[in-house]
Amino acid sequence: MTTQNTTGNPTRQGLGTGASRWQRSHNLGELNASHAGKEVILMGWVHRRRDHGQLIFIDLRDRHGLTQVVVDPAHAPMEILQHASGIRNEFVLAIKGVVNKRPEGMVNKHLGTGSIEVLVNDLRILNECDVLPFPVADEAESSETLRLKYRYLDLRRPRLRDNILKRIKFVKAMRKSLEAHGFLDIETPFLYKSTPEGAREFLVPSRIHPSHFYALPQSPQLFKQVLMVSGFDRYYQVVKCFRDEDLRADRQPEFTQVDCEMSFVDEEAILKTFESVIRSAVSDFFDGKEIPSFPRMSYDEAMESYGVDKPDTRFELKLHDLSSVVATSGFKVFAEAISTGGIVNAIVVPGRAEEFSRKDIDELTEFVRQYGAKGLAWAKKQNGSGVASWQSPVAKFLSDETVNAIDSKLSLKAGDLVLFGAGSYDQTKASLGALRNNLGARLKLYDPTQLNFLWVLGFPLLEKDPDNNRWIAKHHPFTSPRPEDIPLLATDPARVKASAYDLVLNGNEVAGGSVRIHDPLVQKQVFSTVGLSDAEAEAKFGFLLEALKFGAPPHGGIAFGLDRLTMILTGCDAIRDVIVFPKTQKGTCLMTGAPGEVSLDQLRDLHIRVHRLE
């Protein structure tokens, strides 16, 4: 059927019916010189159009690639040339033509179909395109707000399209690897019981049960443990999870995990299994690239040397403890930190002192203030010894003996820059750990394409809640203590180590898990230590506690953060670039307008009345 277009552009046509119906013969990434002389039917979007008068070149695009088609009066009726003259970018076309080898010297070696072109003998415009809010054919800068509003257009852009295709490729590789290790793909419910542990939950009101609510799961933690009790000894799921928390570049209110659990294992068996799984999947993702085995590091070592529990090991710049060296120094900031139970740490930037002006150091000082630091002391090492060898505003407060002791402890050489942090343990480590990462990026100390995986082990089982000074689970209350530490639950909870582990990639936590508690008595001990009464435990986790009484096997697992992992593997800076329809940092969907208001009838059905606070 043909319809007249009143805009002055070429006639829009459908695919036809009956004998005249067109069917796509090839996608736009598969034609090559072996197809020369073959008649084909191609369909896609106009990526670019170049009008050379009596000759029109069109790059036609679909998700598979590009193919150049040529409208030439020598091969097509003049009316086809007239139609083609009105075509613009992002029009949807169907063309029929003959594959032709490009002349020698005209081959595009950067294009999969660059050895051929298709000479058009018939053309149909399947749909036109309005004026675009931003260019699709190239990677011209445009605001993220605009791109998220028109996400369907953004997804046509080659870079973002390729990111999504790479994500799909990685998910396929993960599924293949997990299933090769005997894991079963099992779904768990989205309408969950509220178990307020960890992040804030999204609640879903029940129409059938007034004043009662489901919660969207932060993870399938309880269900996957019950699956282990059920005898499904190896489970995995590519699953949506939900957390109602403040957002950032690598966090979304709904995110995807590759969630896994296995039975009859200890910590070592879990680490070996999932290291094999991820190495195989990443190797497949990079078409056979060899992925070396993962080193291991204790939580204590990570905090001492890197200031964070997810260290980026692509570069050095470790933290050095100077507390014993400066404890009796004349510098009040250092002395007070030590006397109040804090620490003094330093980072040495070897041979780069002259690259940092006073303005640069002031900027670094403002940076660490964001992490709770009160300031940043510094020194540039010059030739010689004692106070005279330092260019530093704090040198006048230190003796020659103290300066020489610091030089010796840090093995300082002329041209080195030293950056000092002083204060409480947590604040000093956090600020210098963040500063270390900032310096690594600023000074280009690592290859951005490098992949450094690392297991971090031996986390504390518990930590103090700063709001009420009670013990809380560092991961979740079903994490098993290391067997040798179970007696310490009653006497010294701070020393109890968890059978927990994180997988870190280039300074990002990409997976985390633990051995679970399968003994009801140990579970009761942990609940008691975190101040959870029997009644509270029963109300929140009753079905799991009951399940543990019916022959629960030893079990444990891990959850891979698919969005963050894919972000790193594809070289992106934000997970929004690897999610098809992401939310903004305020949790909104600009394309659909979610979240939005609902009608009074809908609220009435749910027995809800909205009260807006002034």
> What H or E segment, with its residue span, contains residue 509?
strand 508-515
Average pLDDT in the 552-559 region? 97
Q: What are phi and psi of 201, to 5 degrees?
A: -95, 155
Amino acid (1-letter code) at residue 132: L
Task: Specify whether the CB–CB gap between 129 and 136 falls below 8 A.
Answer: no
Maximum Cα–Cα distance for the chain, whole Å?
96
Give pLDDT tens digits for 244-292. 987 766 789 999 999 999 999 999 999 999 999 999 999 999 999 999 9
Secondary structure percentages of the chain, helix, strand, coil, to 5: 30, 25, 45
Task: Specify whether the CB–CB gap between 311 and 469 falls below 8 A.
Answer: no
Mean pLDDT of the chain, nearest integer = 92
Task: Specify whether the CB–CB gap between 472 and 494 falls below 8 A.
Answer: no
What DSSP letter does each residue of 68-135 carry, written as one string? Answer: EEEE-TTTS-HHHHHHHHT--TT-EEEEEEEEEEPPTT---TTSTTTTEEEEEEEEEEEE-----SS-
Give pLDDT tens digits for 473-511. 888 889 999 999 999 998 999 999 999 999 999 999 999
The total number of residues written for the chain in this structure: 614
Beta-bridged to residue 556, according to DSSP, are: 262, 515
pLDDT the model gives residue 9: 43
Q: What are phi and psi of 588, to 5 degrees?
A: -110, 155
pLDDT the model gives residue 196: 64
Indicate if the pLDDT at residue 10 is higher than 50: no
| C-alpha torsion sign, points 405, 406, 412, 416 | negative
Give the residue, 3 or 542, on which the prediction is more confident: 542
What strand order describes the sheet that includes 184-185? 184-185, 234-242, 254-263, 555-561, 508-515, 500-505, 453-457, 296-298
Q: What are phi and psi of 215, to 5 degrees?
A: -125, 145
What does the block give as tokens for 496? 């109890």
Task: Name the nearest CA neighbour of 259 among 292, 228, 298, 299.
Answer: 228
**What CA–CA distance (Å, rounded) separates 580 from 582?**
6
Q: At what angle do helices 158-180 and 267-285 cross, to 10 degrees?
A: 140
Residues 6 or more apart whose CB falls under 8 angstroms from that of 418 comprise: 346, 347, 348, 349, 378, 379, 380, 381, 406, 410, 412
Q: Which residues of 134-166 are buried (b: 16+ CB within 10 A; e: fewer)?
A: eebbeeeeeeeeebbbbbebbbbbeebeebbeb
In 224-334 the beta strands, taken as DSSP E runs, fall at: 234-242, 254-263, 296-298, 319-321
Amino acid (1-letter code) at residue 391: Q
pLDDT the model gives residue 2: 38
**What CA–CA distance (Å, rounded) separates 614 from 612?**
6
* C-alpha 158: how far from chain center: 20
pLDDT the model gives residue 464: 87
Confidence label for 14 from pLDDT (cuts 50, 70 and 90) = low
**What CA–CA distance (Å, rounded) separates 570 from 577?**
9
pLDDT the model gives residue 475: 85
> What H or E segment, with its residue span, contains residue 47?
strand 39-51
Task: Specify whether the CB–CB gap between 101 and 119 falls below 8 A.
Answer: no
Confidence label for 61 from pLDDT (cuts 50, 70 and 90) = very high
In 130-280 the beta strands, taken as DSSP E runs, fall at: 184-185, 203-205, 213-215, 234-242, 254-263
Residues 6 or more apart whose CB falls under 8 angstroms from that of 411 comprise: none
**Cα 253 to Cα 114, 149, 217, distances in angstroms:** 43, 18, 11
Average pLDDT in the 121-127 region? 95
pLDDT the model gives residue 16: 55
> What H or E segment, with its residue span, contains residue 67?
strand 65-71
Give pLDDT tens digits for 76-99. 898 998 889 999 999 999 999 999
Indicate if the pLDDT at residue 335 is higher than 90: yes
pLDDT the model gives residue 5: 42
pLDDT the model gives residue 82: 87
pLDDT the model gives residue 533: 87
State the DSSP code for 370: T
Average pLDDT in the 526-537 region? 88
Give the residue, 233 or 470, on which the prediction is more confident: 233
Angle at 115 between CA 110 and CA 117, to 5 degrees: 110
**What CA–CA distance (Å, rounded) separates 261 from 269?**
12
Give pLDDT tens digits for 373-431. 999 999 999 999 999 999 999 999 999 999 999 999 999 999 999 999 999 999 999 99
pLDDT the model gives residue 4: 37
Task: Name the nearest CA neighbour of 25 among 43, 44, 41, 45.
Answer: 41
Rounded to two decimals, what is the model's pTM? 0.91
Q: Average the pLDDT over each of 249-263, 471-485, 530-544, 571-585 and give the range with the smallest value.
A: 530-544
